[in-house]
Structures are given as C-alpha cells and as structure tokens.
Chains A and B, each alone.
Chain A
Amino acid sequence: MSTTAPPPDGLDHVDERLLRTSPLKKLLARPELGSVVGAIAVFVFFSLVADSFLRPSSLGTVLYAASVLGIMAVPVALLMIGGEFDLSAGVLVTSSALVSSMSSYQMTANVWVGVGVSLLVTLAIGAFNGFMLTRTKLPSFIITLGTFLMLTGLNLGLTKLIAGTVSTKSIADMEGFPSAHALFASTLTVGGVELKVTILWWLALVAVATWILLRTRFGNWIFAVGGGADAARAVGVPVHRTKIGLYMGVAFCAWISGQHLLLSFDVVQSGEGVGNELIYIIAAVIGGCLITGGYGSAIGSAVGALIFGMTSKGIVYAEWNPDWFKFFLGAMLLLATLLNAWIRKRVEATK
C-alpha cells in the first residue's frame, strides 16, 4: 500500500471532530418529525375546541378513519420513496372489492373464493403498473393515470353488465362471510374502547414496512432507486424488479382495503374510491416523504394518516360544517411540507 493510511483503530472510538449529537438533534433528523409536530398541534387544537374529541369512543373513531387511509398510505409512501406515484391506488381498492364480491357471487357462494381471486387479480394489476412503467420508461404519473381511468371505467361498466346496477349484491348470507368479516372488518373491544380490526392491520403494515425499509436489502434498494436509479443500476441493484415489487405492495394493501370495504358493508358501490389516491399521497407527503423520491418513512405516512383522521373527525366533533375539511387538509399539507423543508435545511446545515 502506498498511501499513508492511519492505523484502522478508529472503529470503536468516536471521532473527535464529531461533536456529540444530542438525542434531540438526532430526533430532528428523522423524516417524520414535521408530521409529529403537526399531529400534536392538531390533537391539542381539537382537544380544546371539541369537548367530545377526548372521549374514548372518539379515539376509536379517529383511529378507524386513520387506519383505513393509513393501510394504503404505507405502500404509497414506500412507492414514493422509490421515486414513483400510483394514481390508480384509490380505484384499485374498489376494483379489488368488486372482483371479490362478484367472483364469489357469480362463481360459488363462498366468500373466501372471492377473497382469493381478488388477491390474484389485484396483484396482477399492480404488476401490470410496474411492468408498464419499467418497460415503457414513461413517467409513472402517465402510466397510472391510464390505469386509474381504465379501472374507473371497468368498475362501473362491468358492475352494470354483471349485476345490472351500480352496486353489487349483498354477500352477507354466503358461506365464509363470518370468518372473512372477522378478519377484515370486525370490531374488537379493548378496555371499553371499540377498535376496528383495520387498526391492527395498519399497525402491522407500518411495522413490516419500517422493517423492510431500514433493515432489509430490498429497503436499501427502495431508497436507492428513488434517490438515484442510474447509480443504483450501475452497482447492480435490480431497479425494475424493485419498482414492480413496490407496485405489487400497493396492490396487496389495496386488496386488504378492498376486502374491508366489501365485508364491512356487504355491498360495494362501483363508483367509489376516485380521489382517494391523492389523499394517500398527501398522507405520505405530510409524513415527510420527498415527492422526488429517495427520502421518507413508513412511520411518517402513519402520522400523516393520523392527522387526516383527527382532522376529518375533529371537525365533526367540533360541530363545524364538514365542508371545511378539505380546506384544513390543504392547509395542513402546505404547512407540513414547509415545515419538513425547513427542518431538513436546518439539519443539513448543522452537519
């Protein structure tokens, strides 16, 4: 070796040039910090203006609203970290529910058959999105806008063709309904608070997604394909497979959401789901995901969903006109994004 390499003893001792970082500063460097501050602010705000907001029953309602959104916000956040969008995610939930309902109604009288068929079809649509994206190299905005429109049309058209109306027939009297209902749409009572099972799904998904992102090779690849796809490809990361995997993750969660949608109401309205894709993206962005990819967290998306749940229900508890909800959501999005940008700048400046 010709270089004057210092002996590699610096592995254990802390570099003297590295000032001790306080735990606070470490916390500040987390992508979800802005959203946590926002969530606390929203919580305090509605606790003050709405008396019923702090009741245990309200907690269950708020968490339920957050979980329904949060289940989808998790994979959408991962996809965004991977540098892509999925505008078809909202209607894909409805498609998944419709496929499930109609295939069990038309083929057999067993709910579980529909649940299984729906999983396969939904994953196939996710794979289609990913495959089209990686094959054509068109922006994901265009590809998934196409799938969004096609699915919207298919949902309405096929439902009318098969069921004759815009909603499916009830599946409540079919075989397997109670067990499927228990898995996807039951209500648990914990300490007198009624909690929907979707909250468990949500928490589990956040935990699994966080594990994948931070502690697996696939997670490393997600950050890499979003932060620099060419650099990632150059060192041998399977960029295409990673992206297709992310779209199938969105599809998998759409399947969970779709089954919940179907099994909690027995029927599905074929026009539902339009517009939700943007709310998933909003939750991910509020949670600190960089819209250009390469940065963000699954926990952040959960906090974003929680802010959404608190705002949407808080307005009801405060007995305001719910028309104001969208205004609040928009203001929250702007504030959270500005806060995130400001924090990131400060953290990077101190490095």
Chain B
Amino acid sequence: MTTDTAPLVELDDVSKYYGNIRALEGVSLEVRAGEITCVLGDNGAGKSTLIKIVAGLHRHDAGTFRIEGEEVALANPRDALDRGIATVYQDLAVVPLMPVWRNFFLGSEPTKGKGPLRRLDVDLMRATTREALLRMGIDLRDVDQPIGTLSGGERQCVAIARAVHFGARVLVLDEPTAALGVKQSGVVLKYVAAARDQGLGVVLITHNPHHAYLVGDRFVLLKRGTMAASHTKGEVTLDELTRQMAGGSELDDLRHELERPAAS
C-alpha cells in the first residue's frame, strides 16, 4: 500500500464532546483514493458523531482533521462538499416527494439564461440524471417519478451516483445497507465498489462486518465512543473482525448466560 502521498481524509486522535457527554475520543482513521475505509460499531458507538464531523455538520473538539494533508475545521456541509467530501445518509439521502431529476441536482442546479430569465436547465438536468445513473449501471424507467417511489436500495444508488457525478473525491456512506434485504445490499455494495474503482475514497459506516469485509481495505472499530481496533485488510480475518465487532469476550459471556441450564 502506498503511503507516500497524503490521505484524502485523515483523522488523528479526534474527540467530540456534547456538554459533559463524551461522544467520541481519540479516534484516528485515514481514507485514500481508490480505497474503502470501513467504520464498524454497535449502536451508540459513535459512528454517527464521526460521520457528522467528516460531513461538516459538527466540529471536532480535539485532535486534528486533515483533508489532503491540510488541517481543517469544517464550518458546514457546504464546506465539506466544496472540499470534495460528499455524504450519503441512510434515511435522509433524498427528498421523497420530488422527482428523481430534481433530487439528483438538488443544491447544485444548473441554470441557463441571465437576470430575471435565469432558469433551471430542465432538459439538461433530465438528460444528465439519466446518463449519470446509466453510467453507474442504474437503469431507471422514468426520471420524473417521485424518488419516494423507488426502493430503498435504488434511492441509495441514486444518492451515490449523484455524489460521483458532482466530482466528490471522498464518499461517506452512513449505513447504506442497514435497512435493506440481502439482494439489495449486494446491489448497493456493488455501486460502492464501482465508486471506489472510479478512484474515490470511501468511508463506509456499517454494523455489518460481513458487508464491510467484502469491500473494505481498512477497518476501524468503535466502541462506546473510543477506537477499539484498527486494521488493514491483510491483518485481520472476517471471523476475527466479527468477533471484535460483536464484543469479543462480551459475546462469550452472553453465550454463557443464554446457555440452557444443563439437564439435571
């Protein structure tokens, strides 16, 4: 693995506090172009907090956050977008009642004309949406349908295709497979891999070690707001990852507790 160039995104010993609550402490991770960094953790482990820092929704309180070697403190999501970090959230990736093409360009709408006649370039928007989705391998029947009529997996894919189209260099995905069935998860993971192959750096947040291991190059394990482990793909097996993820010794305790009392 090349380490001579600066990673696209690098967190070093980053912490975040909400009042007297320690949401995240001492977390480090790096994301490189053409690689997928997986952030694993159970509910409440600090995954959301981490994502919000990278996405520019919250500012970190301690540690350093570098984008391409430059230390930053993001002011808002727009700032993150301008620096090439696009975040796709699990449940709020899109506005359900709006047509697919309006969703695709939301926040970055192309216009034509000048002054009071400045207007959305609707034909371009429709055609580009169709084209960009096709390029990701998504063949939609009708870009005019409300995006809420698509399945959860399709919606995630549209959001990913949108981020890729707008030149994101880092894609942050918040549990893209959490609410999906096995087949749909596979489809989404395929698009995640497609984005990686186009040279993007990907942060994949998940609580499913099987999904993570399929595509990930680096794995960061969070537990109760701290970093429990950090591996590269060669260093860890799926079983080990699953065990650490599920709580390791805690799982053994659980098994012990749930064991049927021996027939006596």
A217 close to B142 (CB less than 8 A): no
**Contact A236 B97, CB 8 Å, known A17-B141, A215-B119, A216-B118:** no
B239 → chain A closest CB, angstroms: 28
User: Could you say which residues of chain B place their CB within 8 Å of the CB of A2?
Assistant: 193-194, 197
Complex-state Cα separation, A234 to B106, whole angstroms: 10
User: Could you say which residues of chain B place their CB within 8 Å of the CB of A223?
Assistant: 95, 97-98, 102
Of A5, A6, A224, A233, which contacts B98 at CB under 8 A?
A: A224
A4 close to B137 (CB less than 8 A): yes
Complex-state Cα separation, A227 to B78, whole angstroms: 20
Determine the main DSSP class of A at the interface with B.
loop
What 1/0 mask marks residues of chain A from 78 to 103 whose CB sits below 8 Å from any chain B CB? 00000000000000000000000000
Question: Is A319 in contact with chain B by the CB < 8 A criterion?
Answer: no
Residues of A213-258 at the interface with B, using a CB-CB cut-off of 8 Å, are 215-217, 219-221, 223-224, 227-228, 230-237
B97 close to A8 (CB less than 8 A): no
Determine the main DSSP class of B at the interface with A.
mixed
B183 → chain A closest CB, angstroms: 16
Question: Is A18 in contact with chain B by the CB < 8 A criterion?
Answer: yes
Question: Is B220 in contact with chain A by the CB < 8 A criterion?
Answer: no
User: Could you say which residues of chain B place their CB within 8 Å of the CB of A351?
Assistant: 145, 149
A200 → chain B closest CB, angstroms: 19
Looking at B118, B131, B137, which has the most chain A CB atoms within 10 Å of its CB?
B137
Complex-state Cα separation, A10 to B142, whole angstroms: 11
Residues of A1-50 at the interface with B, using a CB-CB cut-off of 8 Å, are 1-6, 8, 10-11, 15, 17-18
Complex-state Cα separation, A24 to B263, whole angstroms: 72
B140 → chain A closest CB, angstroms: 8
What 1/0 mask marks residues of chain B from 218 to 253 whose CB sits below 8 Å from any chain A CB? 000000000000000000000000000000000000
B135 → chain A closest CB, angstroms: 5
Binds A, one of B7-15, B19-27, B86-94: B86-94
Residues of B108-130 at the interface with A, using a CB-CB cut-off of 8 Å, are 108-109, 111, 118-120, 122, 127, 130
Of A18, A219, A234, A237, which contacts B55 at CB under 8 A?
A: A234
Question: Is A323 in contact with chain B by the CB < 8 A criterion?
Answer: no
Question: Is B214 in contact with chain A by the CB < 8 A criterion?
Answer: no
Complex-state Cα separation, A230 to B95, whole angstroms: 9
Complex-state Cα separation, A301 to B83, whole angstroms: 41
B95 close to A6 (CB less than 8 A): no
- In the assembled complex, 16 residue pairs joining A and B whose CB atoms fall closer than 8 Å, in A order, are A1-B135, A1-B194, A1-B198, A2-B194, A5-B134, A10-B134, A15-B142, A220-B105, A224-B107, A230-B89, A232-B107, A235-B162, A236-B108, A237-B106, A290-B97, A294-B95
Interface residues of B (CB under 8 A from A): 55, 77-78, 81, 87, 89, 92-98, 102, 105-109, 111, 118-120, 122, 127, 130-131, 134-137, 139, 141-142, 145-146, 149, 162, 190-191, 193-194, 197-198
Known A-B contacts: A224-B107, A235-B107. Give 17 more (CB < 8 A). Answer: A1-B194, A8-B131, A8-B135, A17-B141, A217-B109, A220-B106, A221-B106, A221-B107, A223-B95, A227-B95, A232-B95, A232-B107, A234-B55, A235-B162, A290-B97, A294-B95, A294-B96
The 6 closest A-B pairs by CB, nearest first: A235-B107, A228-B95, A3-B137, A236-B107, A227-B95, A231-B92
